[in-house]
Structure 1
Amino acid sequence: MSLAAALPQTAPVENRTRALRAVPAAPEPRGFALYVGLDEEAARAAGTSLGAIVEAIKTTIGELAPAAQSYAAVALAPAGVGGRDVDVVRLALQEPTAVARNTAEPAEDEEELDRAHAGVVIDISRKRVVLDNATATLTYKEFELLQYLVLREGRTIERTELINALWSAHDGEIPNERTIDVHVRRLRSKLGRYEDIVRTVRGAGYRFDRHADVSIRHASTPSPDLF
């Protein structure tokens, strides 16, 4: 949902022919956009609805600034798409920063791209994770675990599936479901402030949720779950 102050309807003629840019030559605040990640089911669970929330926000704006103009839009996204709700909304409504992170063309020099990317780079082709320009010190098993979730983005993976897929008799002791929780906790600790890209689904397992801050580099051929 995006709520923003509308532009005046009587703009000078010479300005109407100018293409709008994300950052104008002489910027000045003209309003704001508020992105809210919330679906109807979650709203109903809270005893309300998206429409009621929109009306409450518009009423509050009217009380605080009676002269303000407002516009609300509901973000539509494919059912079951992964990622934090608010980031899905930002992409669906074409918020410039979110769009730029997801459409930027790869740089010829990957090291240069790493330095320029503030966020998470999950590099499946080179088996590494870069956090805010610094390489994370993941173990092989931690990367395998993260990669397994990434390659199944948006799907909740049960603990038993992780055990069966990522461990074998050659690994010695086969972990139990509680051990998987320990591995996930260690992985999250190394992801730092981006730990919530690995989300716990209560009573079910774990899921990878892509943020607008996350960039994934795939190998030219399908990547195996084990390496």
Structure 2
Amino acid sequence: MSASLLERTTTIPAARPATRPTHLRAVPNSVDVAPQPTAQPGAAQPGVAPRGFALYVGLDEIKAAADGVSLSTIVEALRRTISELSPSAETYAAVALAPQSAGGRDVDVVRLALKEPGAVARIQPETTEPDHAQGVVVDISRKRVLLDGESAALTFKEFELLQYLVLREGRTIERTELVESLWQAQSDDEAPGERTIDVHVRRLRAKLGRYEDIVRTVRGAGYRFDRHADVTIRYGAGAPSPDRF
């Protein structure tokens, strides 16, 4: 079965007024959850009240199989648990489809594929951002980088290097990981050494010009991309996610 990413959405009817808060305990040593009516999301907005919640799960069939389960098994187990906790709850589950090459955390890929508002809000639509905009545009869907509206002359491997860092924002990537991830299809003789990565990074920075500092060196560790106000990431439109369970 091809890799896919799971998202389960549960819709719970509006709760009836309770005389006292209820507590849920999932497992020993877990944190009790006590609903606070005055602090519920949307409480400050007239006519708006919580009607349910969505739980995004980043997991593909390969990783699930390695754990000895399947996505459908997990979905059914969650449904049974919800039914036991609240028989009146209604559930709905869908699978999120995304390119196997999509980088970043699995759960973030799932949120974006399923158009979760918070994830979508981080992406500025291409229709509102002209190519001549100032700053750096990392266009994942078209495999290109724009610097102040001009296309940067990056090689395929230089783009892959920048993309790998950008999609793992805030995490320091070691040189060994870059070699193993970006040159995994090459033989040991063709793959660069860890120090050769520094050469690739220097060439990439040279082509980024005045924006070279978006690729940060973490001394003794590797490289990292931190969020910058002048960097926009375009992911492109995701494929629709059909019902699966």
TM normalised by structure 2 equals 0.45
Between Structure 1 and Structure 2, which shows a larger proportion of helix residues?
1
TM normalised by structure 1 equals 0.48
Between Structure 1 and Structure 2, which shows a larger proportion of strand residues?
2
